[in-house]
Structure formats: structure tokens, C-alpha cells
Amino acid sequence: MAVERRCPVCRAGFRGSFLCSRCGADLEPLMTIARDAWRLREAAREALLRGALRAALRDLVNAQRLEPTESGASLLAAVRLLEVG
């Protein structure tokens, strides 16, 4: 399931702009956080392909701290199971 991002001021949906289309609030900090979390999840996926479980775990934990998602939580749970296994 995709994360539905909304303006924290007026709750309008994000439209890919750094300014809210409804109230004009600056959304760049929130978009930066979302981008950083996405990059961390991508790095975790690449680490998994290399067999680097600790790196994947680190990146997933950090991504979930920035922007929790259902898919991120599922991937994190799977990596934790692999690490224990």
C-alpha cells in the first residue's frame, strides 16, 4: 500500500510540488524525508541482493524511523527473520 502524503497544515493531498496547492505551505522538508526514506529502502534491497543482512537491517530501521510504511515494516520483519534464522 502506498503512503498517502498530505499537507500538515490543510490536509490537501501532495501533488508533486514543494508548495501546497491549497494553502501554500512549504512541503519541501516532508518531501525530502520521503525521498530519503525511499533511498534507504532501495539501499536495503540492494544490500539484501548482496547478502548483507546487517546493512539491510540498518537501512530499513532508519527508513522506518523517517517514514513508516506497511511495505517497509514487512520487509523489516522478513530481514529480522533471516538474521535470526
Cell of 64: 522506518
**Per-residue confidence (pLDDT) for residue 5, from 0 to 100:** 86
SS3 13: strand
16-75, pLDDT tens digit by residue?
A: 889 999 999 999 999 999 999 999 999 999 999 999 999 999 999 999 999 999 999 999
What are the residue boundaries of the structural domains of the chain, listed by start? 40-84
Q: Do residues 28 and 13 touch, judged by C-beta distance below 8 A?
A: no
**Per-residue confidence (pLDDT) for residue 16, from 0 to 100:** 81
Q: Which range, of 1-5, 12-16, 26-30, 77-81, averages the lowest pLDDT?
A: 1-5
For the entire predicted model, the pTM comes to 0.84
**Per-residue confidence (pLDDT) for residue 83, from 0 to 100:** 84
